Amino acid sequence: MKKLKDILVGFDFEVTQGDCDMPVKGLHFDSRLVTGGDVFFAIPGVLVDGHDYIQGAIDQGCRCVILEKPGDYSQDDMTFVLVKDGSIALAAMASAFFDHPSRKIDLVGITGTNGKTTTATLLHDLYSSIGHKCGLISTVTNKVGDRSIKSTHTTPNPVSLNSLLNEMVNEGCTHCFMEVSSHAVVQNRIHGVQFKGGVFTNISHDHLDYHKTFDAYIKAKKKFFDDLSRDAFALVNIDDKNGSVMLQNTLAQKYNFALKTPADFKAKIIENDISGLILNMDGKEFYSRLIGRFNAYNLLTVFATATLLGEDKLTILSALSNLSSVDGRFQYVKGQKGPTAIVDYAHTPDALENVLSTINSIKKKNAKLYTVVGCGGDRDVSKRPIMASIAARLSDQLILTSDNPRNENPDLILEDMRKGLDEVERDIALSISDRREAIKLAIKLASSLDIVLLAGKGHEKYQEIKGVRYDFDDYQIASEFLNQIEN
């Protein structure tokens, strides 16, 4: 068992009371989880302040508190450690508590608005297929080798993150591929974590409910690259104008990739249809079952990352040609008599436009595109009319519906979306707040040649309404209605 003095590393602190030789059983920032021998971190948050729960943690057996604000606590057997930033202290101590696991594994972080999950998952699947035991930390699931662990956040909190990395190290994983969210960077969840490489996919309108401005969102992404070491690599999409911005202050070795412009890693689309992609990658042609220009970027990102990690290029391309799409990312289901339904996580304007443009480029000449899309509640309101406008412009029929309304009235969310439509589009577009009914109607209206896009929820297996998560799976529901047509 670690002693407190062994994990007070990587940040400035002052012990205002107590004994640093005390043994530490665990680390918690939720006072309800504290038991005897645990350290409690009193961290000010957006909604609550951890300092208000110090006494509760003490009552549950905590004998050490890391805090930002001095207080009047009379317990003689307590240790209090004063720090400038509790979130940094938590991350640094969590890394030390688990013996700095990120230093013992090749950890690659992928950040960007779109493509993080697909890129991280494809890298995990690629490395697994060529004989490596590796880990995955993603929005959809976390994996230690072939074992899956439920994911609750895109990037876990520092204790969960370091615990997970430690598990991977103990089970012999050599690599880990990890999504890095902008929230995680700003909240110091990855502070003290050592990355072998950082990857930037792209950036577009998202998470402004949290970051407030697009500039702040860019800076959050950029900080990840600013903090990379000289021994790491930084790989960015140079077709995105902000790709070069990410590299401005990094000490890491700099590389870029592109489809449109000269780059260190370059690819060209030879064919792109419903059966997949044929790409020229680094002078070699190969086929992938993945569909669309955005997946060409994902495949190029994976190829470049694996190359920088030292893998043989022909081995990479051979393995890539055998990989399938990620759940909820351009995942399609086809009925014998009904239309083709495509389930995609596109929940930002840029992602939605990419998916719709891809479908329009591969669908048959006389086929129609039906789009079922909504926007989440308690999230960035400004993107709602933008997404509706994009969907109306690129679809033959638009059905606005609920995503995860959370604590908002779904009908009011739809009204916000309709503000982005012109008079003609408003007359044509349908608004059905019940997502199941919206999917049912789209499939019923579409012919066998048509395509129905179910956008926004992707891999999610729930719908969140008024704090309750109800079972809801776009792929399963689409399959159910398609089967009814067949029968």
Kindly tell me the sign of the dihedral angle through the C-alpha atoms of 53, 54, 58, 59: negative
Kindly tell me the sign of the dihedral angle through the C-alpha atoms of 149, 153, 154, 159: negative
Strands (E), 303-359: 331-334, 340-344
Rounded-to-integer distance, Cα 24 and Cα 289, Å: 50
Distances (CA, A) of 383 to 164, 209, 242, 380, 389: 34, 10, 20, 6, 10
Query: Which DSSP symbol is given to 44?
Result: B
- Considering only 20-24, 74-78, 121-125, 385-389, which range has the smallest mean pLDDT? 74-78
**154 pLDDT higher than 90:** no
Phi first, then psi: give them for residue 287, nearest 5 degrees. -105, 145
List all residues 6 or more positions away from 52 whose beta carbon is below 8 Å from its beta carbon. Answer: none
Kindly tell me the sign of the dihedral angle through the C-alpha atoms of 257, 262, 265, 270: positive
**218 pLDDT higher than 60:** yes
**Helix, strand, coil % (nearest 5) of the chain?**
35, 25, 40
pLDDT bucket at 74, cuts 50 / 70 / 90: low
Dump the DSSP string for 410-461. HHHHHHHHHTTS-HHHHHH-EE-S-HHHHHHHHHHH--TT-EEEEES-TT--
Beta carbons of 294 and 115 less than 8 angstroms apart: yes
The secondary element (H helix, E strand) that includes residue 314 is: helix 313-320
Rounded-to-integer distance, Cα 1 and Cα 63, Å: 15
Rounded-to-integer distance, Cα 391 and Cα 353, Å: 7
User: How many C-beta neighbours within 10 Å does residue 468 have?
Assistant: 8
pLDDT bucket at 47, cuts 50 / 70 / 90: confident
Rounded-to-integer distance, Cα 113 and Cα 146, Å: 27
What pLDDT shows up at residue 430? 98
Residue listed under structure tokens 């688990």 = 98
Nearest C-alpha neighbor of 161 from the set 145, 144, 182:
144
Please report how many Cα atoms fall inside a 13 Å half-sphere around the Cα of residue 200, on the Cβ side.
Answer: 35
Q: Is 95 helix (H, G, I), strand (E, B) or coil?
A: helix
Span 461-487, pLDDT tens digits: 999 999 999 999 999 999 999 998 855
Span 282-333, pLDDT tens digits: 899 999 999 889 999 999 999 999 999 999 999 999 999 999 888 888 898 8
What pLDDT shows up at residue 151? 82
Q: Is 470 helix (H, G, I), strand (E, B) or coil?
A: strand
pLDDT bucket at 5, cuts 50 / 70 / 90: very high
**Structure-block tokens of residue 332:** 């399609």
In the chain, the domains with their CATH numbers are 4-86 (3.40.1390.10), 101-320 (3.40.1190.10), 331-486 (3.90.190.20)
What pLDDT shows up at residue 487? 53
Beta carbons of 331 and 481 less than 8 angstroms apart: no
Beta carbons of 93 and 39 less than 8 angstroms apart: yes
**Structure-block tokens of residue 187:** 């909240």
Mean pLDDT (the chain) is 93
Distances (CA, A) of 29 to 46, 50, 328: 14, 7, 33
pTM of the model: 0.81
What pLDDT shows up at residue 183? 86
- Pairing status of strand 26-28 against strand 38-42: parallel
Distance of CA 131 to the CA centre of its chain: 26
Distances (CA, A) of 284 to 246, 298, 315, 321: 29, 17, 12, 12
Residue listed under structure tokens 């209206």 = 445
- Considering only 63-77, 201-215, 456-470, which range has the smallest mean pLDDT? 201-215
Phi-psi region of 477 (alpha: psi -120 to 50; beta: other; left: phi over 0): alpha
